[in-house]
């Protein structure tokens, strides 16, 4: 009898565990369905130009994707966000390295790093367009400025995470600065750098859209501006969905690159 009760309890615990695991897996889908249900119910209380329903937005998204409108504007915005992300990353690496190795450089650079985030981007972006014109380069600078801070902070933290005794070992072995950086510091800093890049990937889209809001005749920011002026709320929401999808694609690309680089680095270390 005692053995039977104990067996029943174990089976009940297994079933409860399986149910909890299933709920955890289904939680994102449940949340998404609940969101769309609430959205649909709210849309019934308002006219479409204020809050179109999810089916109307989906229809607009499909129509504008089929006729090439959304793919064109997505390509333009991504073509600004990705180079801006690369430019901001390069600047963060160039400034993060000396800041991590020199207290003087750190105290010299830190006020500039903090100032890059202390002023809202929407206040700085118009000045960039005044100084550098309304072209492609100004939009790249806006993107680079917004992604710079999270990357430089993570670069500096990653380079400082190397234990001092490992630096001593490399010095005893006569390693050059370049060897120390490529074989010791960079591998240790990679998790930090990619953490900053994942955050910056989404921010790069914000930078691109900010530039397009101010001056552009193409891109998702321009499309949102145009659709807002026409009270085409369904198109505004379709463009926002496209922005989110592009940001998620950039994030997924960075994660894939991270896995490939870390795997390659580990293989190099083992060999």
Residues 7 and 62 occupy one common structural domain: no
pLDDT for position 58: 93
Residues 1 and 61 occupy one common structural domain: no
**End position of a domain, from candidates 10, 27, 45:** 45
**Residue 19 to residue 100: CA distance in whole angstroms:** 48
Residues 171 and 126 occupy one common structural domain: yes
Cα of 68 vs its chain's centroid, Å = 25
List, as one string, the DSSP characters of the chain: -HHHHHHHHHHHHHHHHHHHHHHHHHHHHHHHHHHHHHHHHHHTTS-TTTS--HHHHHHHHHHHHHTTHHHHHHHHHHHHHHHHHHHHHHHHHHHHHHHHH-HHHHHHHHHHHHHHHHS-HHHHHHHHHHHH-SSHHHHHHHHHHHHHHHHHHHHHHHHHTS-HHHHHHHHHTT--HHHHIIIIIHHHHHHHHHHHHHHHHHHHHHHHHHHHHHS-SSSHHHHHHHHHHTT-HHHHHHHHHHHHHHHHHHHHHHHHHHHHHHHHHHHHHH-
Instruction: Output the pTM of the full model.
Output: 0.80
Give the CATH number for residue 169: 1.10.3720.10
Domain count of the chain? 2
203: number of Cβ within 10 Å:
23
Residues 8 and 99 occupy one common structural domain: no
pLDDT for position 3: 47
Residues 170 and 193 occupy one common structural domain: yes
Residues 213 and 190 occupy one common structural domain: yes
Tens-place pLDDT, residues 109-155 = 888 777 777 777 778 888 888 888 888 888 899 899 889 888 998 99
**End position of a domain, from candidates 24, 45, 66:** 45
Residues 166 and 227 occupy one common structural domain: yes
For the chain of 271 residues, list the mean pLDDT of each consecutive stretch of 10.
Answer: 54 64 77 89 88 92 93 94 93 89 84 76 83 86 89 89 81 80 84 90 90 88 92 94 93 90 61 48
Residues 74 and 158 occupy one common structural domain: yes
Residues 38 and 58 occupy one common structural domain: no
Domain that includes residue 40, residue range? 1-45
Residues 81 and 25 occupy one common structural domain: no
Decide if 247 contacts 191 (C-beta within 8 A). no
Residues 93 and 10 occupy one common structural domain: no
Residues 180 and 210 occupy one common structural domain: yes
The span from the first CA to the last CA of the chain, in angstroms, equals 59
């Amino acid at each position: 009898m005692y053995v039977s009760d104990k067996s029943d309890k174990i089976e009940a615990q297994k079933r409860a565990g399986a149910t909890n695991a299933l709920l955890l897996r289904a939680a994102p889908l449940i949340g998404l369905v609940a969101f769309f249900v609430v959205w649909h119910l709210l849309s019934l209380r308002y006219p479409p130009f204020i809050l179109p329903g999810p089916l109307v937005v989906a229809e607009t998204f499909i129509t504008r994707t089929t006729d090439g409108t959304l793919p064109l504007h997505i390509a333009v915005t991504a073509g600004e966000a990705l180079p801006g992300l690369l430019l901001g990353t390069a600047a963060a690496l160039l400034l993060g390295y000396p800041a991590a190795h020199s207290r003087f450089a750190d105290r010299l650079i830190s006020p500039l790093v903090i100032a890059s985030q202390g002023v809202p981007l929407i206040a700085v972006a118009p000045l960039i367009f005044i100084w550098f014109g309304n072209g492609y380069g100004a939009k790249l600078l806006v993107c680079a400025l917004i992604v710079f801070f999270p990357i430089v902070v993570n670069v500096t933290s990653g380079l400082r995470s190397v234990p001092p005794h490992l630096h001593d070992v490399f010095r005893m072995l006569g390693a050059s600065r370049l060897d120390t950086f490529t074989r010791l510091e960079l591998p240790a800093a990679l998790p930090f750098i990619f953490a900053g890049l994942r955050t910056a990937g989404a921010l790069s889209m914000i930078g691109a859209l900010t530039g397009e809001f101010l001056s552009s005749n193409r891109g998702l920011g321009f499309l949102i501006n145009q659709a807002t002026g026409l009270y085409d709320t369904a198109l505004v929401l379709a463009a926002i969905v496209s922005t989110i999808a592009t940001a998620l694609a950039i994030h997924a690309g960075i994660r894939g690159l991270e896995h490939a680089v870390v795997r390659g680095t580990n293989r190099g270390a083992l060999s």
